[in-house]
Structure 1
Amino acid sequence: MTNNSWPHKVLLLYEGTNFGGDFDTSILYGLEAHGCEVTCLSRGKAWSPDYDLVLGYGPFTLQEGNILPVAKQLMAIPEEKRPLFAWWLTEGIPNPNHPHWFVNIASKLRLKADQWLLTEQSARSRWRDLALKGHRLRILGQLNHVRERQLLDVLAVTSASRANYLRQWGFDPIVVPLGNYAVYGGDMGLNRDIEVGFLGNTAAPRRQQLLPGLFKQLEERGFQVVVENNLYGEDRNKFLNRCRILLNVLRAPQDFVGQRFLLAAANKTLVISEPVNDSLPFVPGEHMIVTAFDDLAEKVHYYLTHEDERQALADRAHQFVSEELTAVNMVGRILEQVRQTQATKEKAKIGV
């Protein structure tokens, strides 16, 4: 029977690039803190079935992010010897406004393209760009693939809105936000000489439409926005430690940006955001500020001229991610669900 010391041996599948490095480091720490013996391996590599749990996570970027090789290896293991398979989805979902029939067809076509690219070795370089198209449809198509083959035992997602969407497609996910760990930064005591920062892809169509006007409004109030498109690790943490305020303007209206909130809180930077569908576990007015897009510039002006209030919000968010929203606690939620799933399987075997 399972107990609180199970699973013992865990295989943590990482993407194979530095893009997912923070995820891998924080999840590894969380697993080891719960007493797990962890092996880390790239998703595309072969592995033995001698594990209690195989755990993967998003992002699904590029060919290394493909979940299909993992599914193939799981299918090759006899069911009675197959380890539990859990996935922590940290990426976005297809646009909820798209018709169900369209998403159904498009995600299946995207899955077929991935399957073809895996079998046609010579086509990978010539059709590499195909692996980058329809990214969120790809996620849904591949998750459906593993679920339909009864390979997916536990699916964790980082927000309630993503969970609600996936339930419409027959999944039963649990909500587990990303947890804080030292890799996401901390208070370095640096001079916060950047009044307003923006961290993210400014080439996204929605941001191209909205950001120039917002930046102009802030410039008219005497505030220049410092933009960083491609910062990771220590460089990103130093940038956030220099920012007093981090702007959040969504790439797509349905996006959940919990990682951005987590990063800002870890580095004691106040987030001022346009409305989001789902900010939990971060609470507007307690850990961050959410306001109508047209009021963003005015809110930035207010908190830059009321430093005590800005600092109090940033301190509260930092305390929250340091004491409650930790990698150890969030990984613990997944492990608890894994134990419950294993216990259910064991009862089914003996006919209870």
Structure 2
Amino acid sequence: MPSFTRPITALRALAFALLLTAQAQAQAADYRVDTVIDGLEFPWALGFLPGDRMLVTERPGRLRVIEPGADGRPTLRAEPVSGLPPVLASGQAGLFDVMLDPDFADNGLLYLSFAHGSVEANHLRVVRARFDGTALHEVTPILTTLPAKSHTQHLGGRMALLADGTLVVGMGDGNLERTDALRLHTHLGKLLRVHRDGRVPDDNPFVGREGARPEIYSYGHRNPQGLVYVSRDRTLYAHEHGSRGGDELNRIEAGANYGWPITTHGVDYTGARITPYREWPGVTPPLTHWTPSIAPSGMCWYDGTLFPQWRGSLFVAALAEKSVRRVPMRNGRPGQQDILFRELGERIRDVRAGPDGALYLLTDNAEGRLLRVTP
């Protein structure tokens, strides 16, 4: 009898582990996904308006309104919002993020980010505008990245508001001269911070430094496309695309260097080594990285009531993995991740936590969909 003790104990442990795994999978899959709207052309970002209405950006350069129809079900308004400024739509360039002002109910202001200029000389631009429900008015540029760059890759485009009401926007490295991400004379490869009217905050980390652009908040980024401020943690989180591997989730600190291209866990698309270093003195390491790459896009913080088991988590939309990563956060550190919604088989461009507690997804294709996730 004693000789069987160890095998029986091992089998029990294995059975218990399998049971826990099955329970975790069942919990993670305890949702339903419904199509809210289809027929969107490469939708990029979602914003929630009062009165059960939503705004959706389409990368080719349209801002669309979703509103309750005559039967109460969501419908896509036939005509896009008018008054949108000219958008460069080519390659990765186009209309990107939409964000409502904290006082939108009173002032009707919103913010849009998009590619501006020509293929040969383009910028990331952020404008502020007043939305009357149908059209944009008083469209005012508040940030245009400098200098102009050629080609239409790595424009970043996500926006977030900090607790003090200032606006942060991510700008990619342009995918031409990578080391520009580490140079302070250019906006390429940076997170940028301005007041909502475009003024530069006096406490930005490089204000007054000779040769440095005063809008720079952090640097050493490749192509940041996820940006969330979590008031509970008083923390700004950002993620960015690596090359072939090395996608990163970072905690953003003012003035910090995040290393690209001196440090990365990825390699070039050709398989060539970009750098031998994954760490370097003075470089802030990522909280986690995804290697091989999942191609992270949108990101949100979930603290709703419909999914109690998901509260206190970052949700990361993934294009290449065709999924959403749930990243539970505790004391500012990421825990064990769940990989969700792979059964859809679609590239996910954006993920948002709705005011109703549901999770909303935008799929990235020419016949894109807005999806609603509920228990």
Pick the TM interval, shorter chain: under 0.3
Which structure is higher in strand share?
Answer: 2
TM-score (norm 2): 0.25
